[in-house]
Amino acid sequence: MSQIHFETLGCKLNQIETESLAQAFTRCGFSVTDKTPSAEALSPKPLLCVVNTCTVTGKAEQKARRLIRLLIRTWPDTPVLVTGCYAEVEAETIASIDPAVRVLPGSRKNELPDLPEFMMERFAAFPDKTVFTILDEFIRNESGTVPPFRLSTDNFHFHSRASIKIQDGCNNKCAYCRIRLARGTAVSLPSDEVISRIRSIEEAGWNEVILTGVNLSQYESDGGDFADLLNRILRETTRIQIRISSLYPERVDERLTPILAHERICPHFHLSVQSGSDRILALMRRPYTASMVHQAANRLRSVKENPFIACDIITGFPSETDEDFEQTFAMCSEIGFAWIHAFPFSPRPGTEAYTMRPHIPERIAGERVARLSILAEENRQTYRDYWIGRTLPAIVETDSGANGTTVLTENYLPVVIPETGLRRGSRVMVRLTGLTHGVLDN
């Protein structure tokens, strides 16, 4: 059986799209893997490598290039098909890496479910054709308009929890963001189809589904918004837990907050924050203020017991002063985010911030990231301390092995338990006995 190797970089949206493509290949009889290349991976050699890329930062693009080169070194005669956001905005750069590389822009990613059958047909009709020539033909034969939500599945090969893409693209014009250039304007999966797909996921036995999108705040269907969709999901499905991938602070309002109190909504929320300085937020073209971030966190805590609240922070945005950063640090400290994903500003070509001045030295931006990272670790330990001795629902993440089993609690805490023989994706009750360990408590 021919094997297809997948690599996925970036957001949960990319992950669900890769899962869908993997399912398309398995339906045609291929086997799939996402194991990192190593000496052990040399046999069997995959028929094709697929890399789904990200363009959120320069480091994300650098990581993609390194990964592509690693795949080529590991399997020199295997074609590497590159798609995703980086492939949309820098196709020529990627294609120049090596003759083994083929590029399908991210805007054509929804054509990829046709690739497995296309390959099978060509192999049957032309046995002497190589995968390289078949890929070239597939890329030349552009399919035209393809539905934006075609990449969907209820079978997940690489994850213990299900996901569904309900939204794509973004209508905001944030000064630093290149994703909107790669994915286009906001589009939404009709609510009827959302319900149908989640029901299929639920009927397939999955215990949790993650609602994903570029900007869930811009979800819209039949005159309803994201709050209306959540209400409908909770009414028209029965048991599956709902996890929300990310929220904008200004959308955690009086309409949405009471819905989030429902017991089937996971007490884990990621706020897209970026800065605690109103001046910097305005330069970033973000549609909220630091006080609105505080208000959003307070509202989330009013409907869930000590929910896990995380955030993103960009340091070193052009003209960010020490005072701006101290405002950000103070906000993160006062709110007590359970986790802070801090990273330095990366100037992205084609964005407004690319030409903004003055630049902040990398050293200073890095020092600010380091301070926030220390705070993040302190906050995470404080958060975990709160739950020691308590029992929480969890999903089995990894197949049981000699070292026990890793589970992920509903409030996003990874816990290692000694029990083995547990099915990946199954729902268990776990009592935390330490910062990283626990036991089954059924």
What distance in Å separates the CA atoms of residue 400 and residue 388, rounded to the nearest whole number? 23
pLDDT score recorded for residue 36: 74
Q: Tell me: pLDDT of 120 over 60.
A: yes
**What percentage of the chain reaches a pLDDT higher than 70?**
97
Mean pLDDT of the chain: 94
Q: What are the DSSP E strand ranges found in 222-375?
A: 241-244, 268-274, 308-315, 339-344
pLDDT-wise least confident of 29-43, 164-178, 324-338: 29-43
Q: pLDDT tens across 49-79, in order?
A: 999 999 999 999 999 999 999 999 999 999 9
The Cα-based distances of 435 to 137, 386, 387 in angstroms read 53, 10, 9
pLDDT given at position 338: 98
What is the pLDDT at residue 1? 59
**Least confident span in 105-109, 247-251, 386-390, 420-424:** 420-424
Q: How confident is the model at residue 40 (pLDDT cuts 50, 70, 90)?
A: low
Domain layout of the chain by residue ranges: 3-140, 391-440
* Region for residue 70 given its phi and psi (left: phi exceeds 0; alpha: psi -120 to 50; beta: otherwise): alpha
Sheet containing 241-244: which strands, arranged edge to edge? Answer: 162-165, 208-212, 241-244
Q: Superfamily assignment of 3-140 in CATH?
A: Cobalamin-binding domain (3.40.50.280)
Predicted pLDDT at 242: 99
Q: What is the pLDDT of residue 44?
A: 75
Find the length of the chain. 442
CATH code of 391-440, in short, is: 2.40.50.140
Question: 379, 386, 410: which is closest to 396 by C-alpha?
Answer: 410
* Two structure tokens written together for 47: 């028929």
- The confidence score (pLDDT) of residue 104 equals 96
> Can you tell me the distance from the alpha carbon of 106 to that of 10, in angstroms, rounded to the nearest whole number?
13
pLDDT of 222-259, one tens digit each?
Answer: 999 999 999 999 999 999 999 999 999 999 999 999 99
Contact 316, 360 (CB under 8 A): yes
Would you state the pLDDT for residue 152?
Answer: 85
β-partners of residue 431 are 391, 439
389-398: average pLDDT: 95
User: Omega into 105 within 30° of 0, i.e. cis?
Assistant: no
